[in-house]
Amino acid sequence: MELEVFKTDGIPSGNKVELSKTIFEAKPNDHLIYQAVRSQMTNQRQGTVATKNRSQVRGGGRKPWRQKGRGTARVGTIRSPLWAGGGRIFGPQPRDLKMKLTKKMKKLARISAFSYKANQNQIMLLEDVQIETPKTRELFQILKNLNLDGKKTLLLLNNIDENVLRSGRNIPNLTIRLAADTSTYDILNCEVLLIEKDALDKITEVCTL
C-alpha cells in the first residue's frame, strides 16, 4: 500500500511511501485485538473495592435480647446481614484484576490494529511536525489544514517533542503518542491515524516479530 505524504500546510509533498505489508496489510485477528484492549482496560482498574462482612463490622458482640420469652425472632448480633448497619453477604473484596499478554501477542494485536486502520483508509502520513514554541493555535492550524479539526485523531511521533506535546494538550479529540509506545486501544480509538513519516521505521521496529 502506497500513501501520500502531506506537508503541515495540508498540501501533498509529492512523495509517496510504501507501507510494510506485514504490518499494514495483515489479516486482523479480532480475538487478539479483544484480548489486548481488555488487558489494557482491566490493568487500569485498582481492584481495591471492599465491603465488610458480619465479622468485620464494628460492634454487635452482645446478644441484643434473650433467646426466649419475648415473642420475637431470635437474634444473636445486631450486625447480622439482615439488619440495617449489618455486614454484607458475599460483597466485593479486593482482588488482582491484572491480565497479562505475551510480547508476541501484544505485537500481533498492534499489527492487527494497524492493518484494520489501513483497510479502512484511516491512515495519513505527515512530514515532521516542528513547533518552535508551545502554541495550541499552531498545532490546531496543522490539523485544520489536513481537514482533521473535529475528528478524533491519534498523532504518532517519532521522538518526544515537548513543544508538540504541550501544544496538543488543550485540543479536543487529539491524542499524541510516541510510535514506540502506542497501544492497540489507542490505534483503534481514533477516526484518523496521523503518522509522522519518520515514525514508520519505529513502528516497523516495534512490530517486528
Same-domain pairing of 105 and 200: yes
Task: Classify each residue of 7-26 as buried b or exposed e, where b means 16 or more C-beta atoms within 10 Å of its C-beta.
Answer: ebeeeeeeeeeebbeebbeb
| CATH label of the domain that carries residue 152 | 3.40.1370.10
pLDDT at 58 over 90: yes
Task: Over range 129-142, report the average pLDDT.
Answer: 92
Same-domain pairing of 122 and 196: yes
Same-domain pairing of 77 and 180: no
Same-domain pairing of 135 and 114: yes
Same-domain pairing of 147 and 106: yes
Q: Could you tell me if residue 71 is inside a domain?
A: yes
Same-domain pairing of 84 and 134: no
Domain that holds residue 61: 55-90
Q: Measured between alpha carbons, how far is 190 from 73 in angstroms, rounded to an integer?
A: 61
Same-domain pairing of 18 and 111: yes
Q: Could you tell me if residue 190 is inside a domain?
A: yes
Same-domain pairing of 125 and 155: yes
Q: Measured between alpha carbons, how far is 159 from 180 in angstroms, rounded to an integer?
A: 9
Q: Per residue in 146-184, pLDDT tens?
A: 999 889 999 999 998 899 999 999 999 999 999 999 999
Tell me the whole-structure pTM to 2 decimals. 0.83
